[in-house]
């Protein structure tokens, strides 16, 4: 499926700004087929080991932004 | 995925067999009894929400990093995800998935329960904590620790996935007995300074993307404002019961953008709306990031004490005056602002005025008047533009030196 897109950029003061080419370039072009389908890609094998995850889960969670 | 139960700090894997499930039809004979399963697709949690004697479904985690929750009186509608990666870009989207969960066994009578999830994908691994408190408004406190294996072009935090097929703003495109079909009808952003943006949702002809630059927003979320059965006339889907969801950042999220993606759709089975937070800094390989936010799932109706009027309805149709010839190249937008201090002002108030801005077009005619016998002020704007122009529309009601309403926004592409 090939589809073009429209983009709007709202500046920090809340007003709509002209659409910059760089933003348009981000979404124009070819979209992946059926982008809402679930992936079939192989997950990388170096996933975090259980002990590492457990340390994350059960250790104290620090302040936001660490 | 694997599920573990956590009791007194000790995790034990929960094993499931075919005896734990109900198999129907020919599967009943084909599936062996008591076969230990390598994992399960997901899980759901139940808690009394609507009646004290019934354990209602409150939240379910199933499929990649998708989950969804319910408040009192809700039926499932929009979903959330743990994380969105490269959504709607020119390359393939990456879907992280939860590979395992650890469920803390709540004490009897506990108001909240805590679960942990391990997230994994090609570019990122992460540890998630969810503290779930069921109620009239079910809250989910999310803390995510992310570790990046690879750079990510666009990271989506607190992603929400919903559906908008049609409402009064695009009703003419669908031959359907129902007046509206959607799980959400607006993106609501409460900005750092307290201003409130209501971006009415659209089902555009072309893929559409909107970025809202914000610094430390108070909240953002997808809302379902139409709450009467008559709004939808759908006795099966009951869209009036679908939850609204707000993402309330915890701590300082700094600068970034709220992105809204609207995907053209012709069927209500397709989720075509996505909204999430994009941090300003793109993550690189080796980076880590921790973010916390509170999710609010429920009707999220505004209290009567709200100062600002809110957008109750967005409609559109051919421009010009009814009964007269239609002027070319114009479209009429009708925005109803309801309640607040504005709703209590008399119709003849001389201070009240509309503030309308149009990018790539112009407002030909603008009128604002109070509808008799209601607390609704109706703004009517005819927009003129050139074919193919992407028009950004913004409008609010001002008076007495301040905004008296939410800021209504809409993206319109002139055919």
pLDDT by residue (tens digit) across B105-121? Answer: 888 888 899 999 999 99
Which range is least confidently modeled, B48-52, B58-62, B334-338?
B48-52
Distance CA B59, CA B42 (A): 11
Residue A27: per-residue pLDDT: 35
Those residues whose C-beta lies under 8 Å from the C-beta of residue B407, and which sit 6 or more positions away, are A14, B195, B196, B197, B198, B394, B395, B396
* pLDDT band of A4, cuts 50, 70, 90: low
For the cut 70, the answer to whether the pLDDT of residue B82 exceeds it is: yes
B291 SS3 class: strand
β pairing state of B138-148 and B124-133: antiparallel
User: With contacts defined as CB-CB under 8 Å, which chain A residues touch B206?
Assistant: 3-6
* pLDDT band of A66, cuts 50, 70, 90: very low
Partner A contacted by B56 (CB < 8 A):
no
Distance CA B44, CA B49 (A): 14
B36 SS3 class: strand
Of A14, A16, A57, the CB nearest to B116: A57
User: With contacts defined as CB-CB under 8 Å, which chain B residues touch A66?
Assistant: 290
Kind and range of the H or E run holding B249: strand B244-250
Average pLDDT over residues A6-29: 54
Which range is least confidently modeled, A2-6, B1-5, B105-109?
A2-6
Looking at the DSSP assignment, which residues form a beta bridge with residue A26? Answer: none
Those residues whose C-beta lies under 8 Å from the C-beta of residue B68, and which sit 6 or more positions away, are B59, B60, B76, B77, B78, B79, B80, B297
* pLDDT band of A58, cuts 50, 70, 90: very low
Partner B contacted by A59 (CB < 8 A):
no
pLDDT digits (tens, 9 = 90+) for A24-50: 333 333 333 333 333 333 333 333 333
Residue B91: per-residue pLDDT: 84
Distance CA B205, CA B296 (A): 31
Of B94, B127, B149, the CB nearest to A56: B127
Average pLDDT over residues B25-42: 87
The pair phi, psi for residue B347, each rounded to 5°, is: -60, -30
Average pLDDT over residues A8-34: 48
Which range is least confidently modeled, A17-26, B73-82, B111-120, B398-407?
A17-26
How many Cβ atoms are within 10 Å of B121's Cβ, its own excluded? 25
* pLDDT band of B224, cuts 50, 70, 90: very high
The pair phi, psi for residue B20, each rounded to 5°, is: -80, -10
Residue ranges and CATH numbers for the domains of chain B are 41-298 (2.70.98.10), 310-413 (2.60.40.10)
pLDDT digits (tens, 9 = 90+) for B147-173: 999 999 999 999 999 999 999 999 999
Eight-class DSSP state of B290: E
Distance CA B223, CA B242 (A): 9
Distance CA B75, CA B69 (A): 9
N- to C-terminal Cα separation, chain B: 47
> Which B residues, 101 through 130, put their C-beta within 8 Å of a C-beta on chain A?
102, 116, 118, 120-122, 125, 127, 129
Q: Do B147 and A48 touch (CB under 8 A)?
A: yes
For the record, the structure tokens of B158 come out as: 């607190």
Average pLDDT over residues B257-263: 95
Of B11, B191, B390, the CB nearest to A19: B390
Nearest residue in chain A measured CA to CA from B64: A38
Residue A60: per-residue pLDDT: 41
β pairing state of A5-10 and B207-215: parallel
* % of chain A residues with pLDDT over 90: 0
Which has more confidence, A42 or B58?
Answer: B58
For the record, the structure tokens of A58 come out as: 């059960």
Those residues whose C-beta lies under 8 Å from the C-beta of residue B302, and which sit 6 or more positions away, are B310, B339
Of A11, A29, A30, the CB nearest to B213: A11
Residue B12: per-residue pLDDT: 85
Residue A14: per-residue pLDDT: 60
Place of tokens 């990093």: B65
Question: Can you spell out the DSSP letters for B292-360?
Answer: EEEEEEE--PPPTT-SSBEEEEEEEEE-S-TTSPPPTTEEEEEEEEESHHHHTS-TT-SS-EEEEEEES
For the record, the structure tokens of A30 come out as: 């070819």
Average pLDDT over residues B253-271: 94
Residue B130: closest CA among A9, A29, A61, A4: A61
Partner A contacted by B415 (CB < 8 A):
no
Rg (CA), chain A: 20
Nearest residue in chain B measured CA to CA from A38: B95
Report whether B201 contacts B213 (CB < 8 A).
no
Residue B209: closest CA among B260, B165, B164, B258: B260
Residue B380: per-residue pLDDT: 96
Q: b/e map of B194-228 (b: 16 or more CB within 10 Å)?
A: eebbbbbbbbbeebbbbbbbbeebbbbbbbbbbee
pLDDT digits (tens, 9 = 90+) for B295-338: 999 999 998 888 999 999 999 999 988 887 777 789 999 999 99
Those residues whose C-beta lies under 8 Å from the C-beta of residue B251, and which sit 6 or more positions away, are A63, A64, A65, B291, B292
């Amino acid at each position: 499926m090939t589809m073009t897109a429209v983009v709007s950029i709202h500046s920090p003061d809340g007003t709509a700004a002209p659409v910059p080419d760089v933003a348009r370039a981000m979404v124009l072009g070819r979209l992946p087929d059926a982008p809402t389908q679930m992936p079939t890609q192989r997950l990388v094998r170096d996933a975090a080991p259980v002990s590492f995850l457990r340390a994350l889960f059960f250790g104290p969670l620090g302040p936001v932004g660490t | 995925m694997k599920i573990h139960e956590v009791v007194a700090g000790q995790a034990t894997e929960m094993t499931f067999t075919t005896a734990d499930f109900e198999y129907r039809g020919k599967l009943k004979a084909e599936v062996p009894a008591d076969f230990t399963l390598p994992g399960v697709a997901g899980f759901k949690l139940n808690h009394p929400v609507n009646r004290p004697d019934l354990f209602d479904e409150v939240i379910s985690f199933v499929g990649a990093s998708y989950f969804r929750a319910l408040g009192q009186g809700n039926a499932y509608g929009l979903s959330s995800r743990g994380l969105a990666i490269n959504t709607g870009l020119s390359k393939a989207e990456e879907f992280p998935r939860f590979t395992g969960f650890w469920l803390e066994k709540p004490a009897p009578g506990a108001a909240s329960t805590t679960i942990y999830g391990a997230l994994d994908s090609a570019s990122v691994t992460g540890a998630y904590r969810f503290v779930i408190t069921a109620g009239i408004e079910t809250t989910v406190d999310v803390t995510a620790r992310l570790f990046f294996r690879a750079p990510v072009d666009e990271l989506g935090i607190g992603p929400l996935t919903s559906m908008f097929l049609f409402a009064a703003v695009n009703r003419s495109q669908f031959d359907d007995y129902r007046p509206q079909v959607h799980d959400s009808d607006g993106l609501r952003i409460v900005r750092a300074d307290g201003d409130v943006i209501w971006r009415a949702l659209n089902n555009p002809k072309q893929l559409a993307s909107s970025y809202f630059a914000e610094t430390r927003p108070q909240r953002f979320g997808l809302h379902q404002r139409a709450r009467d059965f008559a709004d939808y006339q759908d006795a099966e889907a009951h869209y009036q019961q679908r939850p609204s969801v707000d993402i309330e950042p915890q701590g300082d999220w700094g600068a970034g953008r709220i992105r809204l993606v609207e995907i053209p759709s012709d069927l209500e089975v397709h989720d075509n709306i996505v909204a999430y937070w994009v941090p300003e800094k793109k993550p690189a390989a080796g980076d880590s990031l921790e973010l916390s936010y509170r999710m609010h799932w429920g009707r999220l109706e505004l209290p009567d004490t709200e100062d600002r009027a809110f957008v109750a309805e967005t409609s559109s149709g051919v421009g010009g005056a009814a009964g007269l010839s239609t002027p070319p190249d114009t479209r009429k937008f009708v925005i109803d602002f309801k309640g607040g201090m504005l709703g209590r002002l008399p119709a003849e108030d001389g201070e009240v005025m509309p503030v309308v801005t149009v990018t790539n077009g112009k407002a030909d005619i603008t009128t604002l008047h109070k509808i008799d016998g209601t607390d609704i002020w109706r703004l009517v704007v005819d927009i003129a533009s050139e074919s193919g122009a992407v028009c950004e529309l913004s409008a609010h009601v001002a008076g007495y030196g301040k905004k008296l309403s939410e800021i209504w926004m809409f993206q319109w592409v002139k055919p």
